[in-house]
A and B are shown apart, each in its own frame.
Chain A
């Protein structure tokens, strides 16, 4: 079945459950999933019920789509995302973005937990993603569907400058310090070695994670405007590297959550998507 038909089936199913046209899509990463519980007039759909959706396998990632109102905006939130390291193809990882766009979303807010490479950063910091460096397989490889987007999409402003400016303003007003930097994704699931981290730093990365970039590439391809925010859950400094566990990452993400949620909510309140 063609990708475009799969998108229509999935979007059609969602519309049949929730007669609602969202304008902003949220992909909620590690620790921020609970933001979806704050959505009002929520309609919840398990991923497993949606045609062609893969099923999330990671502990701490719920795996459901929540549609409703948040800060006066019509949102569709992905509570749990699909990661390449789980064994999904890049097309599966990014399939929900196509569906969110088909449902009517013009904007995408992506969040994640990641490791800090920039020495000025601290665990618990929030970072506005200014740009990314992709070293993973590109999700757009394969035949192109001209009706979805161009064969060679521009990535010179993958993270919308106006959205970033608004996030900085909102951070200032709330007294939340917001770092800025370049996000780089490795496939995982293993964390990076010190030698690999040195390489990522040399290439210009400020943070390292295992998600987000495939979704952002597809969102740009589809003409969506993107805001990306990372929670720095640990420092990944090559010469001071301590053994890291997923539990630590989850703990710092949870501690940062109230600030993170405040920031995203205030941004949603003020954005004109």
Chain B
């Protein structure tokens, strides 16, 4: 074993010293949802740069921090800002963050992201419950020595997105009157957006949405025994399927338009998951 355990113990010790309790639910907040964590009661926050084993930021002004607090009585740990492979982080570094959440005691993970729509029935602004994923990043966060403390060398991914949590998500969306699509998320590394030929190939592979995150996090979370739910915000239709050119500004704008709906669903879901925790 490498020094993963040692660093994890140090990370958890630091976070406990700084006031982190045992979270019921972990959340990773993607593009546009970052300030959801600001609504936590009695929050404590620690910058990634202070946490042992957490990768230093490669991006100037990259505000990455871990926030602990409560939401309607449910204790939550939130990753505010995530590590993306395109920034140059190894997937192992992404796994380390998820292992830390598991080591803090989280039992469930809600992961959110912004994604491009491939399913022709989708429209920008739709929310999609992730039913399954296709790892097209060319990497895997579990490559390297296996931290057996968390999970097996060869983890099962036959139900990476918990059927139980998906049912809860559908119910929650119905109660809130928010339409929820469901589909397969395919992850690429980025950072460039896809070509139309790539998008056609991903549709043939069975993808409904494409993005640059989430899959490494979910693999590491499932490995560590977390029950996972994922929701994508479809911010644009992918290349060759809609608008002429893709820009990050367009993605941010679309994410901002549906933010209230997305935030309402995510917040409610966190509470439901926390209260129904096994």
Contacts and interface: CB of A to CB of B under 8 A. Distances in A.
A156 B248 contact: no
Nearest to A218: B192
A221 B193 CA distance: 11
Interface stretch (A32-40, A112-120, A131-139, A252-260): A131-139
Contact of A204 (B88, B193, B197): B197
Interface string A130-158: 11111111101111100000111111111
Given A153-B191, A202-B204, A203-B205, A141 B85 contact: yes
Nearest to A142: B88
A56 interface: no
Contact of A155 (B88, B193, B248): B193
A217 B239 CA distance: 15
A182 interface: yes
Interface residues on A, range: 20 to 34
B195 A151 contact: no
B225 interface: no
Interface string B200-213: 11001100000000
Nearest to B241: A156
B244 interface: yes
Interface of chain B: mostly helix, strand, loop or mixed: loop
Contacts of A140: 86, 190-192
Given A154-B245, A155-B239, A203 B195 contact: no
A220 interface: yes
B86 A138 contact: yes
Contacts, number: 93
A156 B196 contact: yes
Q: How large is the interface on B (under 10, 10 to 19, 20 to 34, 35 or more residues)?
A: 20 to 34
A256 B190 CA distance: 36
A203 B192 contact: no
A3 B68 CA distance: 38
B58 A204 contact: no
B197 A133 contact: yes
A132 B86 contact: no
B132 to A, nearest CB: 19
Contact of B239 (A142, A150, A156): A156
Nearest to B247: A154
Contacts of A153: 191-193
A133 B192 CA distance: 12
B88 A141 contact: yes
B190 A152 contact: yes
Interface string B75-98: 000000000011110000000000
Given A143-B59, A152-B247, A154-B247, A131 B88 contact: no
Given A133-B201, A203-B204, A203-B205, A151 B240 contact: no
Contact of B195 (A137, A138, A155): A155
A180 to B, nearest CB: 12
B198 interface: yes
A205 B138 CA distance: 19
B195 A132 contact: yes
Interface string A171-211: 00000000000100000000000000000001111000000
A138 B88 CA distance: 11
Nearest to B243: A156
19 contacts: A131-B195, A133-B197, A134-B198, A135-B138, A138-B86, A138-B191, A138-B192, A143-B87, A150-B248, A152-B246, A152-B247, A153-B193, A154-B193, A154-B245, A155-B195, A155-B239, A156-B193, A156-B245, A217-B192
| CB-based closest 6 A-B pairs | A203-B201, A131-B197, A142-B88, A156-B239, A182-B197, A152-B248
Interface of A: 130-138, 140-144, 150-158, 182, 202-205, 217, 220-221
